[in-house]
């Protein structure tokens, strides 16, 4: 089901380069927003300093499944709290879904539950380079959280390794 996508009300992405945007964190009450550039009427005053989880840019395939929908998409970034899924057909805010993805070189796949926290809809005739949806992981087991954190740390380490040219 892809209908009923609400209007996105999140502050614009103010990040420079690959640094994490703190401006969108108000979409999650805990400040662990995982998304990309979004449109907003006015950011909450305390929203600029609420991110507590590092976000890592990636390009991984992901299957997003609900009782009614199966969506093939890609993950644009990941944190220990969630992912941003790049898609031109974001699901409705509040939609619960199963996520299946296999990070390259991780030696295994993930099957996790998530909830759509916010969306960045395609806006015809407007600049919108990052349509998609921010998904927060729900009901993570301690083992799943540890695996995600280890995967993120490995990616960050490999990208920052001495002698590696970017």
Beta pairing, strands 110-120 & 132-138? antiparallel
Give the mean model confidence (pLDDT) for residues 161-165. 62
Convert the pLDDT of each residue in 106-162 to its tens digit.
778 999 999 999 999 887 777 767 899 999 999 999 999 999 999 988 888 888 766
Count CB neighbours of 120 within 10 A. 25
- Report whether 6 contacts 92 (CB < 8 A): yes
**For 54-160, which CATH superfamily applies?**
predicted glycosyltransferase like domains (2.40.10.220)
Convert the pLDDT of each residue in 45-70 to its tens digit.
443 434 567 789 999 999 999 999 99
What are the domain boundaries of the chain?
Answer: 54-160
């Amino acid at each position: 089901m892809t209908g009923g996508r609400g209007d996105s009300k999140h502050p614009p992405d103010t990040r420079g380069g690959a640094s994490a945007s703190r401006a969108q964190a108000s979409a999650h009450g805990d400040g662990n927003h995982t998304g990309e550039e979004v449109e907003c009427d006015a950011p909450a005053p305390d929203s600029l300093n609420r991110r507590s989880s590092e976000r890592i840019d990636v390009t991984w395939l992901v299957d997003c499944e609900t009782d009614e929908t199966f969506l093939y998409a890609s993950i644009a970034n990941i944190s220990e709290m969630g992912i941003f899924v790049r898609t031109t057909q974001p699901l409705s805010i509040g939609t619960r879904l199963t996520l299946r993805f296999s990070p390259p070189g991780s030696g295994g796949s993930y099957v996790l539950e998530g909830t759509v926290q916010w969306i960045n809809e395609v806006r015809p005739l407007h600049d919108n380079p990052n349509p998609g949806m921010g998904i927060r992981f729900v009901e993570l087991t301690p083992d799943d959280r540890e695996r995600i954190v280890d995967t993120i740390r490995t990616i960050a380490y490999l990208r920052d390794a001495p002698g590696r040219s970017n």
